[in-house]
Amino acid sequence: MLPPCPSSPNCVSTQATRRTHAIAPIPYRGSSTEAMDRIAAIIGSMPRASIVERGPTSLRAEFRTRLFRFVDDVQFELDEAKRTIEFRSASRIGHSDLGVNRKRMESIRAQFDAAAT
């Protein structure tokens, strides 16, 4: 389970129940190892991103904003039974992120899907 999103609008999660925070998980084919390798490669190619921790079915990363260097925390968890990648992306501080976390996660989803073809 991923931590719940706070009440502020600077978080998205595949496990959120509030519509403002909810986002669909990423389906994957192939092995869980291939899925995590693909996520790690995408994160590794993104500017101001660093992988903090990686396990066989999970990955934690930090993204820093360009201007003020604020940190956003991103977590990925594989649900092997559903063959989906669950995730959460949230700003550490502040109230609004102007949709940055949602846009980032949709970009990661698009890159993941493009790498699968």
Q: Which two tokens stand for residue 68?
A: 């003020």
- The string of pLDDT tens digits covering residues 89-117 is 999 988 888 889 999 999 999 999 998 76
Best CA proximity match to 89, nearest among 19, 12, 3: 12
Q: Which two tokens stand for residue 15?
A: 């496990």
Best CA proximity match to 63, nearest among 12, 26, 100, 95: 100
Q: Which two tokens stand for residue 23?
A: 């986002």
For residue 97, the model assigns a pLDDT of 86
Q: What is the widest separation between alpha-carbon atoms in the chain?
A: 40
Stretches in the chain below the pLDDT threshold 70: 117
Q: What is the CA radius of gyration of the chain?
A: 13
Domains along the sequence of the chain with CATH = 13-116 (3.30.310.80)
